[in-house]
Every structure is written in structure tokens, then in C-alpha cells.
């Protein structure tokens, strides 16, 4: 065998062995990222460099953990974490000392105290198959459902006197709707695009403030004079986030061309948490609006499974313990993939996160909300639309 052929065989063998080793390393790394089941306290932007002999402090318990494994200190006490309604709900209002919710099957409204498990029915007007209830305050809401012709009906409830609801119907086929101070903002769409309307709760005093050739938007209202528009997400499709000033009509592009983009903006518009689809999973990232800088976190969840605290630096999230491969967020929206979550508290200033509850029952948390005092967290379980509550302090 000549020397050239011999060297060629040796070099080829080394390359093959190296590629096999790299393959198994990447597979193991990917598995470590996907499975968060054993992690209860992490640095969300990766672990910082720690000088030798320096101990790491758990900022919530005060315990010195050192550079060692972390003990799971989460609890599932019935008194602090409980299912409020086993029946499917379409929306809720988180008050101080109580929560009110709309029963999905009947449209009846119930109230439950934080000190009791007793469900008090405060309305008995039956409106079946309510798929969404948008609460404006503790005494009024807008319920949405499909009629027999598949038109989207939106009914404004302004009182519950004598257990009977009173109100008026809004315009048919409203696509997106949100509370905007003492008004509401909603989107209408047709073949020419979409129009954004501001009106009173009952639909009076309408004013068009927005139009777009696009018809698929998700909307948020982080501040009184700003509406955040995010293009509806799809796997492998670049998404965009805009801030729209309702006074001037100016639309500023904030994020662009991010695959599978979904977002959540804090109330002072300094930070945006957003998800980005990549291959068969997704990542949660934090965008600093003022610094125009993005940081990747090790937490893998979707912004619509989170809620901002009023301090604008703390978020509470339902975080999947394990992610299976899929086309996100589409397959999760469609119900083809379901998560089993734990509830995390994430501090963006300290860049730390910890698990605060590990449910015994499988939970896929959505529509998270804090009450005004921020001592209770509520959410809906996407698996069965049951309502849950967690006492935080």
C-alpha cells in the first residue's frame, strides 16, 4: 500500500470518529436543554463567572447554596395552590380577596373568595358556549361566542343586578378586542385589510385610529397611549412587533423577521419577552428597548404563558418541564402538543429564576394574571380550561 493511500485512510478514520463524537455530544446537549424537570433555580442568561471560594445566594430564601446542586423547595399545599373551578371557564377577573369567572358552558358568573372554596353564583343568565370573556372590571365584561351562522358575537355586560345580566351587543365579527382604559380597542378585518377602532365599552363613540393591509394581528396595551401589534405567529415565518402611538398615529418597528414570534411587553415599555422558533423547539428571549439589545435565556416557554409584575422586572411563567420536538408555536396552539408546567418566578434584574410550585396534576398554564396586590396568581389550564389560583405571599 503506498503512503498516500495509507495517510488518506488514517485521516478519513480520524474525521469519521470525530464526527461521531460530535454527534453524540450535540444530542446530549440538546437533551439537557430540553429537559428542565430537575432544575429549580437557574441563572436565566447562563451562569456567571464566580470567583473561587465565593458562595451563591438564593435571593429569595437567603440560603447559601454554594456551587452545588439545588434542593427543590417547592410546595403544593392545598391552601396556597388550588383548583378554583373544575368546570371550563372562558375568562376571569382577579380582585383583591376574590376572583370572578365566567363559566364556559353556560355563561354564568361565579365568585370565589381567597379565604374559602365556596363558589357563589352572581348571575344565572344562560348564554351557552362562551369561548372568551374579557373582563373590564369586577362588574363588567365582554363575552364572545359564535352564533349559528359562525358570526362572532360580542356582548357587553354592564351589570349583574338580581342575578340577571344586562348589556348590549357590539359589532359582529370583531377579531381582536382589549380594554383601553375607560374605552375598548378592537380590530375588524375584510378583504382590504384590518381597521382598529376605539369606542366606549358599549360600542358608542367609535373612532378609527388604525388601518393595515394585514388582517392577522395580536394586540396588547402596555401604556395608555400605546398599542403593541404583533403579527400572528407561524412556524418558520418571520414575525414583527410594532408600537403604535394612539395620539400621533406613528407606528415604530420594535422587532422584525423573527420566526414564530410571540411577545409580551412590560407596562413601561422598557422590555419585551419574546419567543423564537428554531428547528424543532423555541427559545425565550428578553429585548431591552432602550439599549436595543437582546439576551437569550435558558428558560424555554412562551410569552403568552407569562405575566409581568407591576415592578416591570419580575415575571411569573408557566414553564414546560420537558419539550418535545415540534413546529412551535403552531402545534401547541392547535392542541397537537400539550405541556406539563411548573410555575417559575423570574427576576430580570438579578437574572435569576426559581420554581415556586410543581403541580401534582398536569398543568398547561395560559392567561396568567396577578391581582392588584400581587399576592395571588391565577391562570387557566389549557388542558381542560379549569381555573387555578396560587397564593404568592
Higher-pLDDT residue of 74 and 125 is 125
Q: What is the pLDDT of residue 161?
A: 73
Burial class (CB in 10 A: 0-12, 13-18, 19+), 47: exposed
Bridge partners of residue 253, in order along the sequence? 242
Grid cell for residue 217: 394581528
Span of 15-24, 91-100, 320-329, 351-360 with lowest mean pLDDT: 15-24
Per-residue pLDDT tens for 163-213?
Answer: 788 899 999 999 999 999 999 999 999 999 999 999 999 999 999 999 999
Residue 22 within a domain: no
Within a 13 Å sphere around the CA of 329, how many CA atoms are in the beta-carbon half?
22
Residue 313 within a domain: yes
Q: What is the pLDDT of residue 26?
A: 43
Residue 82 within a domain: no
3-state secondary structure of 161: helix
For the entire predicted model, the pTM comes to 0.82
277-310 per-residue burial string, b: 16 or more CB within 10 A, e: under 16: beeebbbbbbbebeeeeeeebbbbbbbbbbbbbe
Span of 51-60, 79-88, 146-155, 377-386 with lowest mean pLDDT: 51-60
3-state secondary structure of 372: coil
204-227 per-residue burial string, b: 16 or more CB within 10 A, e: under 16: eeeeeebebeebebbbbbbeeebb
Q: What is the pLDDT of residue 117?
A: 87
Domain count, the chain: 1
Cα separations in angstroms, 271 against 43, 314, 343 = 18, 11, 21
Using pLDDT thresholds of 50, 70 and 90, give the confidence band for residue 34: very low
Residue 23 within a domain: no
Q: Residue 328 pLDDT more than 50? A: yes
Give the separation between CA 258 and CA 242, rounded to whole angstroms.
13
Using pLDDT thresholds of 50, 70 and 90, give the confidence band for residue 134: very high
Average pLDDT over residues 24-34: 40
Cα separations in angstroms, 115 against 130, 176, 387 = 28, 35, 16
The helix or strand, by DSSP H or E, that contains position 281, with its residue range, turns out to be strand 281-288
Q: What is the pLDDT of residue 140?
A: 95
Using pLDDT thresholds of 50, 70 and 90, give the confidence band for residue 44: low
Q: Residue 39 pLDDT more than 70? A: no
Residue 329, preceding peptide bond in cis (omega within 30° of 0): yes
Residue 266 within a domain: yes
pLDDT over 70 percentage in the chain: 80
pLDDT over 90 percentage in the chain: 75
Q: What is the pLDDT of residue 262?
A: 98
Domain around 254: 35-73+216-358
Residue 161 within a domain: no
Q: How many CB atoms neighbour CB 42 within 10 A?
A: 20
Grid cell for residue 30: 440538546
Residue 244 within a domain: yes
Using pLDDT thresholds of 50, 70 and 90, give the confidence band for residue 221: very high
Question: How high is the mean pLDDT of the chain?
Answer: 85
Span of 1-5, 106-110, 197-201 with lowest mean pLDDT: 1-5
In the chain, how long is the greatest CA-to-CA distance? Answer: 99
Task: Of 191, 189, 201, 190, give the one whose Cα is nearest residue 154.
Answer: 201
Residue 268 within a domain: yes
Amino acid at each position: 500500500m503506498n503512503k498516500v493511500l495509507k495517510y488518506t485512510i488514517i485521516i478519513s478514520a480520524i474525521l469519521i470518529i470525530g464526527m461521531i463524537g460530535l454527534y453524540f455530544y450535540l444530542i446530549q446537549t440538546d437533551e439537557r436543554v430540553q429537559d428542565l424537570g430537575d432544575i429549580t433555580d437557574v441563572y436565566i442568561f447562563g451562569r456567571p463567572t464566580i470567583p473561587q471560594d465565593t458562595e451563591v445566594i438564593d435571593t429569595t430564601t437567603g440560603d447559601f447554596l454554594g456551587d452545588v446542586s439545588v434542593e427543590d423547595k417547592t410546595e403544593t399545599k392545598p391552601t396556597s395552590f388550588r383548583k378554583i373551578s373544575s368546570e371550563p371557564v372562558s375568562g376571569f377577573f382577579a380582585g383583591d380577596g376574590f376572583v370572578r369567572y365566567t363559566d364556559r358552558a353556560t355563561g354564568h358568573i361565579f365568585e370565589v373568595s381567597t379565604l374559602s372554596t365556596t363558589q357563589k353564583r352572581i348571575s344565572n343568565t344562560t348564554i351557552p358556549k362562551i369561548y372568551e370573556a374579557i373582563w373590564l372590571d369586577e362588574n363588567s365584561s365582554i363575552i364572545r361566542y359564535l352564533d349559528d351562522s359562525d358570526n362572532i358575537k360580542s356582548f357587553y355586560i354592564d351589570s349583574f343586578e338580581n342575578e340577571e345580566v344586562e348589556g348590549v351587543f357590539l359589532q359582529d365579527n370583531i377579531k381582536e378586542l382589549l380594554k383601553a382604559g375607560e374605552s375598548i380597542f378592537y380590530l375588524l378585518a375584510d378583504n382590504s385589510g384590518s381597521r382598529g377602532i376605539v369606542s366606549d365599552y358599549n360600542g358608542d363613540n367609535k373612532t378609527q385610529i388604525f388601518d393595515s393591509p394585514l388582517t392577522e394581528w395580536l394586540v396588547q396595551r402596555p401604556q395608555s397611549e400605546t398599542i403593541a401589534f404583533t403579527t400572528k405567529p407561524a412556524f418558520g415565518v418571520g414575525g414583527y412587533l410594532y408600537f403604535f402611538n394612539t395620539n400621533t398615529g406613528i407606528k415604530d418597528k420594535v422587532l422584525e423577521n423573527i420566526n414564530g414570534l410571540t411577545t409580551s411587553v412590560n407596562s413601561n415599555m422598557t422590555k419585551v419577552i419574546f419567543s423564537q422558533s428554531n428547528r424543532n423547539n423555541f427559545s425565550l428571549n428578553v429585548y431591552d428597548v432602550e439599549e436595543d439589545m437582546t439576551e437569550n435565556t435558558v428558560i424555554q416557554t412562551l410569552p403568552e404563558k407569562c405575566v409581568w409584575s407591576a415592578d416591570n422586572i419580575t415575571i411569573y411563567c408557566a414553564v414546560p418541564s420537558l419539550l418535545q420536538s415540534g413546529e412551535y408555536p403552531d402545534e401547541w396552539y392547535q392542541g397537537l402538543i400539550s405541556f406539563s408546567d411548573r410555575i417559575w418566578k423570574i427576576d430580570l434584574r438579578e437574572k435569576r429564576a426559581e420554581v415556586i410550585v410543581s403541580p401534582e396534576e398536569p398543568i398547561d398554564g395560559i392567561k396568567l394574571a396577578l391581582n392588584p396586590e400581587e399576592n395571588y396568581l391565577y391562570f387557566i389550564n389549557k388542558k381542560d380550561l379549569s381555573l387555578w389560583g396560587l397564593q404568592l405571599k
